[in-house]
Amino acid sequence: MIIHHNERIKSYQLFIKRPLKYSEKFTFIPIRLKKDKLYHKCIFQTPLLFTPYGINSTQNNKNIIDITFQNIENDNSQKVFHANLKYIYDTVYEKYKYDYIVNEFLKRTDFNDCLRLKISDNTILFDEFKNTIEDINNYSYGNFIIELEGLWLNEDNIWFQWNLLQAKIRLPTHLKEYSFIDEIQEISKTSNEDKYTKMIKMGVPKEAVDRQRVLDGNVPNKISQDKIPQGKIPPPPPPPNFNCSSKKPYIVPKIKASDLQNVILKKSKPIQKDRIKKNPNHFEPPTIEELQSTLSRLKKIKG
């Protein structure tokens, strides 16, 4: 059973089992937690704790890690878990204080109180996505599953044996391959459509807009050329091919003054206007057209 860090450990009874002698100098005392007549190993899940040095090796080539309460001022769960550890120490201290020197397992450091854990070959390390990792870097945060295995007696000293069973470490984000979302700028197929839409909004007749589509070579499938009025604005003729070596470019002839002398102008017919009937006693002068017509009919008198 794993005891979560938010659970109050005072609801359990700390049970000291029968000592096991390993040598003349070292004796090991297993510890269990008793609740409802059941005995459980002292396994705890920690809150998010800080490890300033990661995994290190001792002079005896044993791997260890220090976890600290660096963020206890900002994290109330660290305060609860710190109180649980303090309760364990106080219980052991009250039992052995007259016979042994009970060494504290929470050491005061520059990173607040620190707890040292032993790492075995069975310790498993994970990242936040449940992937196994090989190491824990300096200045890392993580959650840890730890075990208080028991107490070591050495002459007149008592030491606590804490083990790291598992760790879940928050790793910095690393992208192993090209991960940019490239912006693909496509040429808009509706750019001309915006032009024609603006023409319609400006009041240009739809027929004129359709003719402009034809001139632009952008006739939609829905518009039939048979419906477009013909003959009013014919499409421009293709330009002459000046690059063709077999044909000469067409030159427009110039008009000469001699050509104008042979031009015969046709006489215009006089415009007959209805005379307005007025009072017969009133004198009405002839019009200029009438005078010109009369003079043209007079014959010249030979002298």
Q: What is the CATH number of the domain that holds 89?
A: 2.40.50
109 within some domain: yes
* pLDDT digits 0-9 by tens, 225-238: 555 455 555 566 66
Comparing 63-67, 140-144, 148-152, 248-252, the range with the smallest average pLDDT is 248-252
- Token pair listed for 291: 């005078």
Counting every residue written for the chain, the total comes to 303
87 within some domain: yes
**Tokens 């990242």 -> residue:** 127
Output 243 or 155, whichever has higher pLDDT. 155
276 within some domain: no
14 within some domain: yes
Output 282 or 108, whichever has higher pLDDT. 108
Domain range for 48 is 3-169
pLDDT at residue 228, rounded to an integer: 47
Average pLDDT rounded to a whole number, residues 78-100: 95
On the CB side of 271, CA atoms within 13 Å amount to 3
117 within some domain: yes
148 within some domain: yes
Comparing 47-56, 93-102, 250-259, 273-282, the range with the smallest average pLDDT is 273-282
295 within some domain: no
Q: Give how many domains the chain has, as a whole number.
A: 1
Global pTM value? 0.60
Task: Using the predicted structure, report yes or no on whether residue 52 has a pLDDT greater than 50.
Answer: yes
Task: Using the predicted structure, report yes or no on whether residue 303 has a pLDDT greater than 80.
Answer: no
44 within some domain: yes
> Of 185-189, 252-256, 270-274, which one has max mean pLDDT?
252-256
Output 114 or 229, whichever has higher pLDDT. 114
* pLDDT digits 0-9 by tens, 129-178: 999 999 999 999 999 999 999 999 999 999 999 999 999 999 988 888 99
Average pLDDT rounded to a whole number, residues 106-111: 95
Task: Using the predicted structure, report yes or no on whether residue 28 has a pLDDT greater than 90.
Answer: yes
Mean pLDDT value across the chain = 82
Task: Using the predicted structure, report yes or no on whether residue 269 has a pLDDT greater than 90.
Answer: no
pLDDT band at 221 (very low <50, low <70, confident <90, very high): low
